[in-house]
Amino acid sequence: MSALTPEALLADYLALADDSCVAVLPHVLRITAELDIADVLAADTMTVEDIATATDADTEALYRLLRALVSVGVLLEDPTRSFRLTETGHRLRADAPDSVRESVLNADSQRAWLHGIETIRSGRSVFDSVHGGDFFGHKNSDGDADRAFLRRMRERTGRLYGQFSATPDWRQSDVVMDIGGGDGFMLERILREADHVKGILFDRPSVIDMVGKAEHIRSLGERCRLEKGDFFEALPSGADTHMLCSVLHDWTDSQVITILRNSRKALRDGGRLLIVEMLVPENHEWHPSRWSDIGMMVLTGGRERTAKEFTTLLDESGFTLSDVTPIPNSYFSVLEAK
């Protein structure tokens, strides 16, 4: 967390906007990630010529990009026009524990944001008008976009709420179903930590088809069952614990109620539902949930919610909120409902 107040950060932002840095920076970071510059420099100091050869880039054009990255603390340069990563720069590596590489590569969302004003005027997501299909429909029809989305969600899960796997008491669970669980990153962690638990990974058919042959899933053997479907239609039975990790914020209130009611129908009697989301505070202090809320509105039509709003949705769906536990070192919380 920066020591600067939000007001001071905004003042700096507006000052930088005057010389184009903040307009250009997202694109520079995306190009840097596309060229794999941080991965090329992972362990070495290299000359601009060697970096250009490794990334198939024009030497002088690349140098101008690299010196701009030096000015914002991504790289360090020595007098021989050689460069190395800073601590911040390492976060652009694909294998960094706190990597943001997949997030800065997210060109689909960047294109949609150019039309964000349409959402404020209409109250509806603009993703469809930009990409010819809603957010998840676009993923279903474009394999490259779907794979990129799965990589981004895996990176985001580990970085933003990776300690969730150690937060609930898994002794209460026999079979855990991860609803909308992507490539199974979180479910795998849970099954590794709680060796008595079996898992069900449920997601869209295109997702399950992609991850079914992944080594981290195959290594779990019969402990992990894969199920494909549509959670607006029905969910498979057999689990005593359902997980919805950063899923419900993608959807409107009426859609969330449909998902929760289908969870209630499929859940074993006496079972529990674990929801992992950021909670919008009741006060007016800065919190990332307020900004994620705008992102959900523009990209998916969903929203971030307060604890009270979740309580209302759960009540309408046949659940009772029993506990809210902040995840350590995270802005996310676990809402447990029975």
SS (H, E, C) 74-108: CEEEECCCEEEECCCHHHHCCCCCCCCHHHHCCHH
The strand pair at 75-78 and 82-85 is best described as antiparallel
Query: How far apart are the C-alpha atoms of 158 and 177, rounded to whole Å?
Result: 19
pTM of the model: 0.89
**Which active-site residues does the annotation give?**
249
Token reading at 178: 């991860």
The amino acid at residue 158 is G
**Residue 274, strand partner residues:** 243, 336
* Strand, helix or coil for residue 202: strand
The pLDDT tens digits of the residues spanning 187-208 come to: 999 999 999 999 999 999 999 9
Region 238-263: mean pLDDT is: 98
* Per-residue confidence (pLDDT) for residue 1, from 0 to 100: 42
Report the sign of the C-alpha dihedral through residues 108, 288, 89, 189, in that order.
Answer: negative
Q: Where does 285-335 have alpha helices with state H?
A: 288-299, 307-316
Q: What average pLDDT does the structure give for the chain?
A: 93
Cα–Cα distance measured from residue 285 to residue 170, given in angstroms and rounded to the nearest whole number: 34
Q: Give the distance from CA 50 to its chain's centroid.
A: 34
